[in-house]
Structure 1
Amino acid sequence: MSLPSLATVFARQLRSLAAASKMVHHRSSSSSNSGKFTDRFQKDLKTSFSLTDREGLDERNRPPHETDVLIIGGGVVGSSIAYHLKRDAEAGLNVTVVERDCMYTRASTTLSVGGIRQQFSIPANVEMSMYSVEFIKTIKEHLCVDDADPPDVQFNQGGYLILATEKGVDQMRENHKIQKECGAMVNLMTAKQLKSKFPWINTEGIALASYGYDNEGWFDPWSLLKAFKEKALSLGAQYIHGEVTGFDISKVPRAGAEMAYYTGSGRRVKTVKVRLPNSPETIPIKCSMVVIAAGPWSGEVAELLDIGKGSEEDLLHRCLPVCPRKRYVYMFHAPDGPGLDCPLFVDPVGFYCRREGFGGNYLCGRGPEGEEDEPNTDNLQVDYDFFETNIWPHLAHRVPAFENLKIKSAWAGFYDYNTLDQNAIIGNHPAYPNLYMATGFSGHGIQQSPAVGLAISDLILQGKFCTLDLSDFSFDRVMQNEPFKEKCIY
């Protein structure tokens, strides 16, 4: 296992190691070197993303009085948008990114397991991931910065394996047809074929499996974020450490030639108010375009624009249905577990698992079964009982070699969860023609970030989707209360 990957893992564990050390169980243990790795990561983090490390990140620099495009959220999606805008626009386009968590301690990006797949039922999701995987495979052609080491996101094409019971067979076959039509490299396997290829899997109850044998696997999300951000900075984007606290809105008359540019109510975001860290001071930044890419907190940002507070006759009556949902990731050791032939696999009950490096370490997780089981989002504490009750019995059943596993550590992170349909919201808001949204990915934002950055850049610069048609993910479905759901098999 390479040191950067371990450093990333232990960064995610900063809040959970203390709780883990208190846990006493026959399958639990702690790493004696975890403190060393944590210290090394924190040092690397401060070196890489210090506010005094780069022009544009210096906390002493004042935010600009005005900018062309202001992006709210400097995670992997916001940074991808910033990069694509600076890459594709004519010289002189000013792009400013506002990020309140400059060390990314609560960011969805750095707390993810970094899976990437094309196994979706919606063609646009397949196409987004196909674009993104090609971008990641050729990342050195896109995100190299002069006088810096070339980016390496440690893309491991270990594959993606989805298992189905008899109940899910028809849907899996339908999904497979869509994926193949889009060009995804995916094979279906019977239980017998599955056992032959992956003898360590207990195939009891499995009727069919879908295996992404190429262009699927996992990568290091932290490295992708770092690469996007450093390239955007090198192209002239400016990052501001601060929190958006409000907006100034202008309204234009409904009559006049200029109304060809305005739609809906004639509202426009005129100014974004940014509060600087450790200061009551709020700085107004005038802007022409605004992008909400604030991840789990996008819904809260939208509320500052009165989105969701209008009457039924008003274009503001539907909220941006994005909120934080906490998910746990557990790291365990199983000395007799599968080796290089272990892909990221998803069981019919809903848990996932993948190997982490080559030393018998694995990552796993699972979402709650219902709304009533959603964990508290006030903190990033880990519930180890959730693993014991909801994951481990199924994990040990599916992979007998995991019967005697030992928990090494765990962490929690947030999804930017779209409560309407768990799919992305990408595009304009109907009440504000100069407001764009890129959020609500519900766990897919990291793998889709290269495609989303391109799509939003096209929308802003060209006025339409050009390379990828993502119009199915517009806010229109929210206005009409028409969910656009993936057809899953688990």
Structure 2
Amino acid sequence: FFVNFKKIFFQAKIMKNINLIFRFQQPNIYINSSRFLSLTQLKQWQKYENERYFGYEPSAEEPWKRIKHGLSYDLRRAARRYREAKYDAFRRKYPINYMFKKDVQDYELLPMHVEFFIIGGGLTGSSIAFWIKQFCRDENITVSVLENTDNFTKTRSMLGSGVVSQQFSIPEMVDLANFSAEFFRHAGEHLRILDNDPPDLHFLPVGVMHLARTQEEADAFKEAWKIQVDRGVHVALLNKEELKAKFPFMRFDDVVMGTLGLENEGVFDTWQLLSALREKNISLGVRYLKGDFEGVTSYNQGREVPLHGAVPVEEVSADLLNMHKINGVVIRPQMSGASPRPINCYKIFNAAGPWAGEIAKKAGVGFKGEMMRIPLPIVCTRRTNFVVHAPEVPPLSMPILMDSSGIFCRPDAVGHNYICGREPTKSDAAKTLKEENQQIKPSDEPSIDYNEFYEQVWPLLVERVPSFRTAKVINAWHSYEDVNMFDEAPIIGEHLVHENFIQVCGLGGYGPQMSIAIGKAMSERLYDRAYVTVNLRKFDMRRIMHGSRCKELFRCV
């Protein structure tokens, strides 16, 4: 017996060394020399993957095995859920449902692989995650959203004016606005969680007014009005006399024509919408990760791979191009001393808003290669919003004013408080970009310049509405938005080289209301392989390559 025992012992050590050298993952009872009689076996890597997705279920030639596999799948899934819940210390505590908690995160349980990875936890990113899980609620379809809590306090998702308008000159923009308005009408049904109270977006119905001061602008308003009416938008086209009769407290001496929305327009609370989306997403299984985006990973393993357009076509190998495809991201958890960690993913969405241009640069966009040399023209622009108290302005008659001079004014709930400001210019964008390059911290950002209101906003506002002459500023804040410096239109769609790197940015001031419809379009693009509700092919990056601009006549805050 002693001789047989000694023989088995040496065989176990030999098998262990062979497994370490060749890394065979096969069942073996002689794994550890101290416990050579253990019955624990190593599982194959297929056991940790989605067997239904990767095709590891029995084939059609084995019907009995397929029946057994289908009947036992639910039991095996329930057992897997039990094991995950038993050893998941994070879920035993409580989930992340509040975005500013920096000390509560499952750092040890960061996913190794997700199907869809979304960069940006604002309205756009949360809307994409919501519609992806609405289409398919299978737990194997994993969705993770990366967010940075330091940037939440200055994004349009929290500090945006929340204006809902359907007056656009591009047909696709009108369709997006129609879908979002219908969603807001039934937001309580869409975002309700089980038997909880439906969320309230605090929607205030107010018409949006655009004014044309020249005959050329009036002709453009008429053409846009025809497009809007054809798509079911209720918009009134008013001349100067009709404007004076409807709004006697306003001046229209320099106005030729104006438009006024009659339905599905107003303002809502962007913070309430974001909170409702996040809570709904968490209930659907979406994971919010707190960290910073560091870069992407590919199959090239550090080798230089020629991209399409960089070398002649006959010298390009399809295998080399496939090796250069993006297969994951690298993130740095938002904690002290954390090192970057890779996450493999199938699709990556760049919905970082004002920081979408920086994300694209970290992914290699805008550097080398003919197609990769085209940068993402998204810059971060700062907008200053002023809350004023105007007791002489009639609260129930004041519309949302979008003046052609560049100023805007909209009611802040029912009362005598209004949110005013001006549209950012290219010089403002350049100034903000300079501050971003200097890496100014949020605590070191410039303070509010109240003289901007009294020197640049108030004179034009009083000229249009004389009742604002007694207005007083009671509050103000900075908000940041993403502006497309190419044509000020959204950039939506796959990258020219990396088809799994999808850009959803450049929404500007109308981002809060368009985010819901764009998220629906992205989910259709993933599951149906085509845009079904609204065709957004006009907004992809090909127009930048061809030099064709997509100009929108109407602005939104």
- Flag whether TM exceeds 0.5 (same fold): yes
1:291 is matched with 349
Deviation at 1:310, TM superposition (A): 2.0
Between 329-338 and 243-252, the greater mean CA deviation after superposition: 243-252
Partner residue of 2:515 out of 449, 455, 480: 449
> Does the 8 Å contact 2:390/2:472 carry over to 1?
yes
| 1:138 aligns to 2:197 (yes or no) | no
Contact 1:102 1:241 (8 Å CA) reproduced: no
- Deviating above 6 A after TM superposition, structure 1's stretches of 4 or more consecutive aligned residues are 261-266
Q: Does residue 85 of the first structure (1) align with residue 132 of the second (2)? A: yes
1:416 corresponds, among 467, 473, 482, to: 482
Asked whether 1:357 is paired with 2:424, we answer no
Aligned to 2:285: 236
Q: Tell me how many residue pairs correspond in the alignment.
A: 435
Structure-2 separation of matches of 1:226 and 1:391 = 32
SS at structure 1 position matched to 2:153: coil
Q: Provide the residue aligned with 1:397 in structure 2.
A: 463
Unaligned runs of 5+ in 2: 1-95, 308-317, 436-444
Which of 274, 283, 293 aligns to 1:225? It is 274
Unaligned runs of at least 5 residues, structure 1: 1-45, 255-260
User: Per-residue displacement from partner, 1:108-157 (whole Å, max 9, x unpaired)?
Assistant: 21111101111111000010011001001110121111253311111111
Contact 1:111 1:413 in 2 (8 A): yes
Equivalent residue in structure 2 for 1:199, among 248, 260, 263 = 248
Q: Distance in 2 between matches of 1:236 and 1:291?
A: 18
Instruction: Give the aligned CA root-mean-square deviation in angstroms.
Output: 2.5
- How do residues 292-441 of structure 1 correspond to structure 2 at under 5 angstroms? 292-311=350-369, 314-371=370-427, 375-376=431-432, 378=435, 379=445, 381-441=447-507
User: What SS is found at the alignment partner of 2:515?
Assistant: helix
Map of 1:41 onto structure 2: none
1:226 CA drift (Å): 1.0
Q: CA deviation at 1:345?
A: 1.0
* Residue 59 to residue 407, structure 1, CA distance change in 2 (3 Å): farther
Does 2:228 correspond to 1:176? no
2:395–2:416 CA contact under 8 A, matched in 1:
yes
Deviations 1:361-408 (A, max 9, x none): 110111245537854353363232221221110101111110111111
> Per-residue displacement from partner, 1:209-229 (whole Å, max 9, x unpaired)?
100111111111111111111
Greater shift after overlay, 315-324 or 147-156? 147-156
Aligned positions of 1:22-171 closer than 5 A: 48-49=98-99, 51=101, 58-60=105-107, 62-89=109-136, 91=138, 92-101=140-149, 104-167=152-215, 168-171=217-220
Deviation at 1:52, TM superposition (A): 8.6
Letter of the 2:141 partner, please give it.
Answer: L
Contact 1:380 1:412 in 2 (8 A): no
Kept in 1, the 8 Å contact 2:114–2:343? The answer is: yes
- Which protein has greater RCO, CA pairs closer than 8 Å, 6+ apart? 1
What pairs with 1:250-289 in structure 2 (closer than 5 Å)? Answer: 250=299, 267-279=324-336, 280-289=338-347
- Give the Cα–Cα distance (whole angstroms) in 2 for the partners of residues 470 and 373 of structure 1: 26
Q: CA separation in 1, counterparts of 2:428 and 2:418?
A: 28
Against the structure 1 CA distance between its residues 102 and 453, is the aligned structure 2 distance closer, same or farther, given a 3 Å change threshold? farther
Q: Deviations over 1:21-41 (max 9, x none)?
A: xxxxxxxxxxxxxxxxxxxxx
Between the aligned residues of both structures, percent identity stands at: 34
Answer yes or no: is the 8 Å Cα contact 1:128–1:448 preserved in 2.
yes
In 1, Cα distance between the equivalents of 2:401 and 2:319? Answer: 48
Q: Which has the larger radius of gyration?
A: 2
Structure 1 residues 247 and 47: alpha-carbon distance in aligned structure 2, compared to 1, 3 A threshold: closer
Deviation at 1:287, TM superposition (A): 0.6
Give distance in 1, aligned partners of 2:167 and 2:320: 37
Give the letter aligned to residue 330 of structure 2.
K
Indicate the residue corresponding to 2:84 in structure 1. Answer: none
Matched letter for residue 327 of structure 1: R
1:302 and 1:369 map into 2 onto residues whose CA distance is 23
* 1:269/1:290 contact within 8 Å kept: no
**Alpha carbons of 1:263 and 1:290: their partners in 2 closer, same or farther (altered >3 Å)?**
farther
CA contact (8 A) 2:155 2:481 kept: no
Distance 1:179 1:387 in 2: 33
Asked if the contact 1:73/1:294 (under 8 Å) is kept, the reply is yes
- Tell me the secondary structure at the aligned position of residue 325 of structure 1: strand
Of 234, 239, 246, 1:185 maps to 234
Counterparts in 2 of 1:114 and 1:242: CA distance versus 1, 3 Å: same
Please list the CA deviations of residues 223-276 of structure 1 after superposition, one character each: whole Å capped at 9, or x if unmatched. 11111111111100100011111111225999xxxxxx9997764221211111
Tell me the residue number matched to 1:8.
none
Contact 1:316–1:431 (Cα < 8 Å) also in 2: yes
The code of the aligned residue for 1:319 comes to P
* More helix by percentage: 2
- Counterpart of 2:117, as a letter, is L
- Return the alpha-carbon distance in structure 2 between the equivalents of residues 161 and 427 of structure 1: 31
